[in-house]
Each structure stands twice: as structure tokens, then as C-alpha cells.
Amino acid sequence: MEHPIPKTPYSFMRTPPRKASRILVIVGTRPEAIKMAPIVEELKKSNDVEVRLALTGQHIGLLGQALQTFNLDPDYDLGIMMKDQTLYEVGQGCLEKLKEIVQSYKPDMVLVQGDTATVFFGSMVAFFEKIKVGHVEAGLRSGEKWAPFPEEIFRKLTDVTTDLYFAPTLQAAENLLAENVNPEKIYITGNTIVDALLKISATEQEIENSVLASLLANRDSQLVLLTAHRRESFGDPLKEIFTAVRQIADIHEDVNIVYPVHPNPNVMVPAQEILNDHPRIHLTEPLGYFDLITTVKHASLILTDSGGIQEEAPTFGVPVLVLRQTTERPEAIEAGIAQMVGTDRDRIVNEATKILTEKNNQVETPELKLNPYGDGKAAERIVDILVSDLTGKARLTSDWITP
């Protein structure tokens, strides 16, 4: 289903009378929108700050899903996405068009989230205009320059420009301290993905994807969720992953595998070639967030290179095999809910078989008492810190005590 982004022209922008401190929230991809949605909602409740939302359009259809799910109404849509766009083109579009918005709106704070091109170039525009930067999900590090590419460098460079660091976990805060960041500017808040997940999973909605609805109605089979799209896996590593997935389906006749295929041709083409004709491997369009969370909740196993799903799965106690060589999210691995298997075909098959066989023997993975990535109150903490910083008011909340 198409999820168009509302088109909001900004060529006629004018600066309204200043009534409160201003925050410009910038997002470019679906994960950013999902993680920023609880913050935007919380900011709109405040009488102390004014908030506007700018979309770069780094993603279109995927981002539109999140906007609809969370009822986000953007104030600006830059529409920078181009067919087969390069990082150079994304950077140029962000810099040129965000400059217009920032110079017109004159925010007191620019708020970015994560580690995409939008995040880095958004922070650079704020720096050029001498405006404070708040970085949500600051401090994540894999320690590898090229993995994930280009995110590891984008998040490190963004943190060089940042004034308020919203670290999701103690480990992220310690990474920042190791880089000599001022500890008075670091706040451990938890990750807003947990806020978003808890809100959406508590709602009553119908499954939008018909294939998924049919599979969830059949409780005789085990459900496996696959997500794979990282740039560093393009080519042979991704083919290794897909070959392993097909082998898993062949070995375990009681397993159905759902793969919401990323629209990038580097992912779509090998997925079609290797997986498309298997009767129990279901290639679907990208799932809406409610459908995705429902799939995570009911899965017996998740195979993923996604950072977001590594953060979401612990809430439901679903075991995760991380299809990467490194991860900037070690907390789930330390909690025993995830393990790193890389892109090696044999290792993926062997570890998946262990978990799926345990499920057949009714050895359940217990749900964690507390997701190591958050408690559902991260947005409340972040907005409290923003208001305090911009207005001088005393904070009402304390940092999150990580498990």
C-alpha cells in the first residue's frame, strides 16, 4: 500500500512572532520518524517550546508509513529523494534546503536522531548557523569505520557538533565519555523506540498485509522474520544470507519465513533470484509499523541486520541472530537475547536450527523483565531536558537507571 508523504511547500515561509523557544526536528527515514514521533508528541504538549517538523525525504514510501502510523504532520517536506541517489546528492539536498528552513525559522535547537545522512547534514546546517544540536540516540559505536557504512562515521561526526547528548544506554554514555565529551551534557534517557513500540503494540488494529494475516492465523507453524538491507552486505554477503535462509526453510518444514524486502535494487534483485520461488518464504513489501511489531511479537526467531529490531525484540523475549560482523547495540547480546552470526551461511543455519529445534521442544525464551534499551519514558525525559536547557526551568525527571 502506498503511504504518500504530505506535501508542504516552504517557498513562502515567513518567520512568525516569537512566543517560545523553538525546536526544529529533522527526520529523513522511517526509523528516524518512528523514534522521533514520541518526542514530537511530547513537545507539542509543552507550553514552553514551539516545535516544527522537517522531512528531508531521504526515504519516501517507507517514511510515509511512519507518518501515517503516528499521525505526524510535517511542517516542511524537502523532497530530496532521487532515483538511485548517491550520498553526495543526499548531502547536497539536505545542506541547501535545510539552510533555507533554518535561516527562516531561526530555531533555538535542532534535534536529530540516529546516524543517517539526514542526521549528519542536519547537524552541520545547525553548526553553520551557530544553533544548538540535540542528538537523540547519541553515543552508539561499533568501533569499525566501515561497518555499518556510512552510519558509524555519520554518528561520530554528528556527536562532534552536538550540544545535548541523549544517550539511550549506559554503554552509549560511556562511549561518549571515552571521547572526552563533557559529562554535564550527557543524559541517559533510554531509547524512544521502546516508547513507540509500547504505544503501537497496545493499540487494536487489523493486520494490513494479507500474507502476514494469513500466516498469523496459522498457529501450527513457526514464524521467522528476516530483515536485511545494510550497504556493507551488498553483493556476496547478502547472497550468503539469502542462501542460508533458503536452507533453513528446507530443513525446517514447520517454518514460514517472512521477508519485507527493502526497495533498494541491491537487495531486491538477489532476494528475488534466491528466495522468490520457495513456498514457505514470503517476500512482501515493507511492512507498516503495526504489522512489523506484530510480526516481531509472534516470531519464534528473528534474523536481522537492523538496529531498530535489535532494540525492539527484547521487549517480547524473541531470540535474534544479528547478521553483521559488529554491532553498536551490544546490550541485547549481553542480556542473552541476541547473538552475532555475521553473514556466514553455515553459522546462520546452525544457530537458527538450534533455536528452532528448541521451540519445537517447547523450550521457550523467557521475556525480559526490562528491555535493556528503555522503559517507555525516554521521550518524557528528553523533552524535560530540552525545556530545562532552553528556558532555565528545573528538570522534573531523572536519568534512566539502565538494567
Residues designated as active site: 115, 137, 151, 229, 231, 262
d(CA 397, CA 81): 39
H or E segment to which residue 215 belongs: helix 210-217
Task: Strands of 228-304 (E only): list them.
Answer: 255-260, 281-284, 301-304
CA dihedral of residues 232, 34, 269, 226 (deg, nearest 10) = 80
Which among 85, 136, 90 has a CA at the least distance from the CA of 115? 136
| Cβ within 8 Å of residue 198, ≥6 positions away | 315, 376
For residues 287 and 295, the answer to whether their CB atoms sit within 8 Å is yes
CB atoms within 10 A of CB 22: 20
d(CA 23, CA 107): 5
Q: What's the burial of 217, exposed, middle or buried (CB within 10 Å: 0-12/13-18/19+)?
A: exposed
| DSSP bridge pairs for 134 | 111, 164
d(CA 374, CA 46): 23
| Cβ within 8 Å of residue 236, ≥6 positions away | none
For residues 281 and 275, the answer to whether their CB atoms sit within 8 Å is yes
The C-alpha cell that represents 161 in the structure block: 557538533
Residue count of the chain:
403
d(CA 309, CA 284): 17
For residues 319 and 301, the answer to whether their CB atoms sit within 8 Å is yes
